[in-house]
Structure 1
Amino acid sequence: MKKPSLTERAYEEIKKRIIHFQLKPGTRLKLDELAQALGMSQTPIREALNKLEQEQLVERPAKKGFTVKALTIQEIEDIYDFRIALEVLAAEQAARRITSKDLDKLETIQRRIPQKQAQGEKNEVLRLSQEFHAVIMNASGNQLLAETGQRLLERIWMLQNINLLTSDHLTDAHREHSTIVEALRKRDPEKVSTLMRQHLILAKKFIVARLNNQDDFLSTFIYGSDFGTI
């Protein structure tokens, strides 16, 4: 296996810290501090940040340096709308092309989610839920769709990492996943696409409602503030 380049390593590490909210929206990203933290020169750090800017995870206001990009509720709704369009298409295609191996993966994920939820491992529940959707997108056989969908899942993961999801919502989502798997096993594209659309619309409504009901602190936490530098 080819060893990842310094730019690739920097990209993956910075992205991971953003997605897991170790680097919060509004945080200024200093090249020298990131280079020291990651043990490399500033050149791969700069290249990694340029790539993350293209993916809209960081931004350069007035080209004065990089900051972690904050999201407005409208942007969050836009992300979900795009996700719905993408994943409904992926689910429909997956219903025609999914393999027994893929279905077994989905069943394994479905068995593990309630176990992890009972153990209080919320982050693992979220990771498994993201994996569930990724398996379906990959099963569509459309590589561009799957890659674009994966980037959207990473943006969604950021929201899920600020404790917006309740235990009841996770239980409901797991039940909805089960109905999707059942329709996939029956190779029913129309049913699968309908169920996926309903599932994601409910998820969008839940997230947006939760955001609208948060206090000023969490609103700032999501939409951006000056959290210092790294």
Structure 2
Amino acid sequence: MPEKKQKKRPGGMDLDQKAYQGIRQMLFFNEILPGQKIKYQDLADKIGVSITPVIHALKRLEFKNVVSHAPNRGYFVNETSLKEITEIYDTRLLLEVSLVPEIIRHLDAESMDRLGKAFDAYREAVKEENYYNRLMTDMRFHLTIASMAQCQIQLKILQELFDTLLLKYTRNLILLGIMDSSLDEHVHIVKSLTDRDMDGLRQALSTHLDHVRNHITDGFRKMFAVKPRQMVDLFSLQ
């Protein structure tokens, strides 16, 4: 029996992918919040697909641990977790620092040009005090550095870590993630790369990621100690 082809919308994107991207966007912009039950029909209506692609998309997000399925109850967005966010930043630190020798070995003019553009974009976001853009450009900066190592498996793991942060923790990171020292620490990272200083790059990345991890996790501990009504008031100020 021939395989049934998936229907596609104009432009070539299949309906499952359209549903997946639509739900991702809602998560990123906090239109769907942690702990919230997901209503299939509401999502289908907003995205412009049937319920089936929505369910397929939710299964993909369940694999990423972004949502969970409760028997006879449906899908829920997973709650934020101090343990998970700590593990993500611990893994980032180990992974990014481990790539340093390969980054230095493959360093060339083209990769330094890409890094310069990524750093300039981050610096502009800092000047504009655009916190969403600052978060995104910071991640692109670190992914650009990691990509210099030409280690595709490690890069894919790092991309998945960033994906989890964006889908589950964007709101929290905007509230907690701004550090006055970050720009200076990024400058030190770029200088170490320019100088091809392997030990300096290890130290600069370790120091920066350690500071970020401690800042974020300390903020989460304080956040979890705040009463729910106070949390709503805090987020309403953003």
Aligned partners of 1:19 and 1:155 also within 8 Å = no
Q: Provide structure 1 residue ranges, at least 5 long, that are not aligned to the other structure.
A: 222-230
Aligned partners of 1:21 and 1:161 also within 8 Å = yes
Q: Provide structure 2 residue ranges, at least 5 long, that are not aligned to the other structure.
A: 1-10, 233-238
Deviation string, structure 1 residues 83-127 (Cα, Å, up to 9, x no partner): 222222234422221332222222223233333333232211111
- Name the residue aligned to 2:175: 164
Question: 2:192 matched to 1:183?
Answer: yes
Deviation string, structure 1 residues 7-35 (Cα, Å, up to 9, x no partner): 12221221232233221101111222211
Q: How many angstroms does 1:192 deviate by? A: 1.8
| Higher RCO, Cα 8 Å, sep 6+ | 1
Distance in 1 of aligned mates of 2:55 and 2:88: 26
Aligned partners of 1:92 and 1:192 also within 8 Å = no
Distance in 1 of aligned mates of 2:136 and 2:229: 22
* 1:107-126 alignment runs, 5 A limit: 107-126=116-135
- Shifted more, 91-100 versus 46-55: the winner is 91-100
Q: SS of the residue aligned with 1:40?
A: coil
Match of 1:49 among 47, 58, 61: 58
- Name the residue aligned to 1:68: 77
- Name the residue aligned to 1:96: 105
Deviation string, structure 1 residues 193-229 (Cα, Å, up to 9, x no partner): 23212211111100111122232228977xxxxxxxx
- Shifted more, 179-188 versus 125-134: the winner is 179-188
Distance in 1 of aligned mates of 2:85 and 2:104: 28
- Name the residue aligned to 1:86: 95
Call closer, same or farther: CA 1:147–1:105 in 2, change over 3 Å. Answer: same
Deviation string, structure 1 residues 141-169 (Cα, Å, up to 9, x no partner): 111211111121122334343333365x1
Over the aligned positions, Cα root-mean-square deviation in angstroms equals 2.3
Distance in 1 of aligned mates of 2:192 and 2:171: 29
Aligned partners of 1:91 and 1:136 also within 8 Å = no
Question: 2:20 matched to 1:8?
Answer: no
2:171 alignment partner AA: N
Distance in 2 of aligned mates of 1:43 and 1:11: 11
Aligned partners of 2:177 and 2:216 also within 8 Å = no
- Name the residue aligned to 1:205: 214
Distance in 2 of aligned mates of 1:91 and 1:22: 38
Aligned partners of 1:211 and 1:219 also within 8 Å = no
Distance in 1 of aligned mates of 2:43 and 2:191: 46
TM-score (normalizing by structure 1): 0.84
TM-score (normalizing by structure 2): 0.81
- Name the residue aligned to 2:136: 127
1:217 alignment partner AA: P
Higher-Rg member (1/2): 2
Equivalent pairs: percent with the same residue?
A: 23
Aligned partners of 1:60 and 1:66 also within 8 Å = yes
Aligned length: 218
- Shifted more, 117-126 versus 49-58: the winner is 117-126
Q: How many angstroms does 1:63 deviate by? A: 6.4
